[in-house]
Amino acid sequence: KHGVLTRKSHADMDGKKTPRGRRGWKKFYAVLKGMILYLQKDEYKPDSDISEVDLKNAVRIHHALATHATDYSKKPNVLKLKTSDWRVFLLQAPSEEEMMSWIFRINLV
């Protein structure tokens, strides 16, 4: 699965609150492959190598949990992704349908 997702870091590893200056929203081209959610700067091209930066933004979603971020009301269609190392990301999808689809696919892994 792939598509545009806008990401906000809410908590870093071990659940520590992401400090100010790194809490902004950033748009990515997301690609879910196996147990990894790649958050890429540019659109997905089949067979192209993943850049160093894109690898750094990749999120392991094994034992992660995705839910609709009902406690976040500033933007619509936002899902909350909690990873197994206690990071928390907010991810805004372009539509409710897309948000539900990402939640379903992430929780299936």
- Residues lying near ligand I3P in the complex (CB under 6 A): 20-25, 74
Cα(95)–Cα(90) distance, integer angstroms: 15
Contacts for 15 with CB less than 8 Å, ≥ 6 apart: 86, 87, 88
Nearer to ligand I3P, 66 or 90 (CB): 90
Complex with ligand I3P: residue 32 or 69, whichever CB lies closer: 69
Q: Find the shortest distance in angstroms from Cβ 17 to ligand I3P.
A: 8
Cβ proximity to ligand I3P, 17 vs 33, nearer residue: 17
In the complex, the smallest distance separating the C-beta of residue 23 from ligand I3P, rounded to whole angstroms, is: 3
